[in-house]
């Protein structure tokens, strides 16, 4: 049906007809309303940014959270002293997620290396006053600026050159040396505890070993006694663990060095134009690999985010550092309102408007209802030559032909 509609529009424009029938443009609205049930891959464009005073929606319904809390409270009263059997709550690693954590860590490195080369070939524009990003040779004219003095500019953006940090955003969190023994960082410890990207901290807690961020690994599960975690592991066993960890580090280093050599061999070529599409395809693959692996790990390892600000903490509990400056922080004395995090909180996708023709005229504010969106990484790779992923084809609204500026009044 949609191929027929596109053919009719192109045929009418070739004949010089400037007024396209309204029913042709109405197909987008019927598709956006009924496509979610028929097509499981259908995803509409993300909603506008929430107000600063509004709280983030809960991924899990509040009634289910209350039910879980009551069940845990009853289990503690019935058995005050018990050994925790499920990993990673008992301090042990989840064996099937160790390899996934290494894959996510390597995919993140490949993604950053690919983006560093794609940003030289594809121009990136960023607003000077807000966080809006646009990937094209000319910035769009859509009035969505929320920066300072945006009312004097009629909410128009002031564009400047952007970089990798504008394409994908990795929020930082505190590193936990022992996620079970001491899962919370106090306010007085904020200057002594290291901070690192939350996706890296998630991989470390799931099994990745990094020298700069040591982490305690246990061989025996911990016990729960009267609301406290008790560990009966001896010091000798900890020394044996360290020796095993050093051996594992050497194996992982060899594996990483081999993968880096293969990447360097694949990327070493003289002709950049021929390898641009291949590079964009590999970068997009590493993006999906990182996202899918992080979702698997988040099913077992808890990740928390503040309900009002973008702060993230990987671990069973949120930290106690009083650094929140979002709405209603006075009533919380600067403490964060912790809740369950989603993949968008862990890896900021930074949705951008999809440009039909990156070298053509800028997007118009009057036609923004016909434009689609996509994560900045996907938009960058697609403009560099990668095929459009099926997961984002509906979000990018590729089945919509926007009318001209003088046809806006003729479209329903």
Quote the CA–CA distance of 100 and 221 in Å, as a whole number: 22
pLDDT of residue 342: 94
pLDDT of residue 167: 93
Strand, coil or helix: what is 240?
A: helix
Comparing CA positions, the residue from 206, 219, 179, 241 lying closest to residue 99 is 206
Q: Which residues pair with 161 in a beta bridge?
A: 125
pLDDT of residue 260: 55
pLDDT of residue 235: 46
pLDDT of residue 248: 59
Quote the CA–CA distance of 282 and 396 in Å, as a whole number: 21
Quote the CA–CA distance of 331 and 300 in Å, as a whole number: 32
Residue reference for tokens 């053919």: 7
Q: Would strands 195-197 and 223-225 be described as parallel, antiparallel, or unpaired?
A: unpaired
Quote the CA–CA distance of 288 and 390 in Å, as a whole number: 12
pLDDT under 70: residue ranges of the chain: 1-42, 48-49, 226-227, 232-274, 408-412
pLDDT of residue 28: 38
Strand, coil or helix: what is 218?
A: coil
pLDDT of residue 296: 95
Quote the CA–CA distance of 242 and 37 in Å, as a whole number: 52
pTM summary value: 0.79
Comparing CA positions, the residue from 349, 10, 411 lying closest to residue 199 is 349
pLDDT of residue 15: 43
pLDDT of residue 264: 53
Quote the CA–CA distance of 370 and 297 in Å, as a whole number: 36
């Amino acid at each position: 049906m949609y191929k027929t509609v596109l053919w009719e529009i192109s045929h009418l424009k070739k004949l010089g007809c400037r007024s396209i029938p309204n029913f042709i443009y109405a197909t987008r609205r019927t598709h956006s309303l009924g496509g979610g049930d028929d097509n499981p891959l259908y995803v509409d464009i993300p909603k506008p940014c929430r107000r600063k005073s509004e709280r983030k929606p809960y991924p899990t319904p509040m009634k289910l959270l209350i039910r879980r809390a009551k069940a845990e409270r009853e289990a503690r009263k019935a058995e005050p002293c018990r050994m925790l059997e499920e990993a990673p709550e008992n301090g042990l690693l989840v064996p099937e997620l160790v390899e996934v954590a290494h894959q996510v860590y390597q995919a993140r490195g490949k993604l950053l290396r690919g983006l560093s080369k794609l940003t030289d070939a594809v121009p990136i524009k960023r607003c000077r006053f807000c966080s809006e990003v646009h990937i094209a040779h000319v910035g769009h004219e859509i009035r969505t600026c929320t920066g300072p003095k945006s009312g004097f500019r009629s909410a128009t953006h002031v564009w400047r050159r952007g970089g990798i940090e504008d394409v994908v955003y990795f929020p930082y969190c505190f590193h936990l040396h022992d996620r079970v023994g001491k899962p919370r960082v106090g306010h007085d410890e904020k200057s002594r505890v290291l901070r690192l990207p939350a996706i890296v901290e998630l991989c470390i807690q799931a099994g990745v070993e990094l020298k700069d961020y040591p982490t305690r690994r246990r061989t025996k599960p911990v016990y729960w006694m009267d609301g406290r975690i008790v560990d009966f592991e001896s010091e000798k066993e900890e020394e044996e663990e360290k020796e095993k960890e050093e051996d594992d580090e050497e194996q992982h280093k060899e594996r990483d060095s081999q993968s880096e050599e293969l990447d360097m061999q694949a990327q070493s070529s003289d002709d950049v134009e021929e390898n641009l599409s291949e590079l964009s395809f590999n970068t997009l693959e590493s993006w999906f690999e990182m996202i899918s692996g992080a979702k698997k790990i988040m099913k077992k390892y808890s990740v928390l985010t503040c309900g009002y600000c973008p702060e993230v903490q990987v671990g069973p509990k949120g930290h106690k550092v009083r650094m929140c400056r979002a709405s209603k922080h006075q009533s919380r004395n600067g403490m964060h309102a912790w809740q369950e995090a989603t993949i968008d909180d862990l890896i900021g996708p930074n949705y951008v408007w999809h440009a039909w023709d990156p070298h053509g005229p800028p997007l118009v504010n009057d036609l923004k209802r016909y434009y689609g969106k996509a994560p900045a990484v996907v938009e960058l790779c697609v403009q560099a030559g990668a095929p459009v992923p099926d997961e984002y084809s509906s979000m990018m609204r590729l089945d919509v032909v926007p009318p001209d500026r003088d046809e806006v009044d003729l479209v329903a």
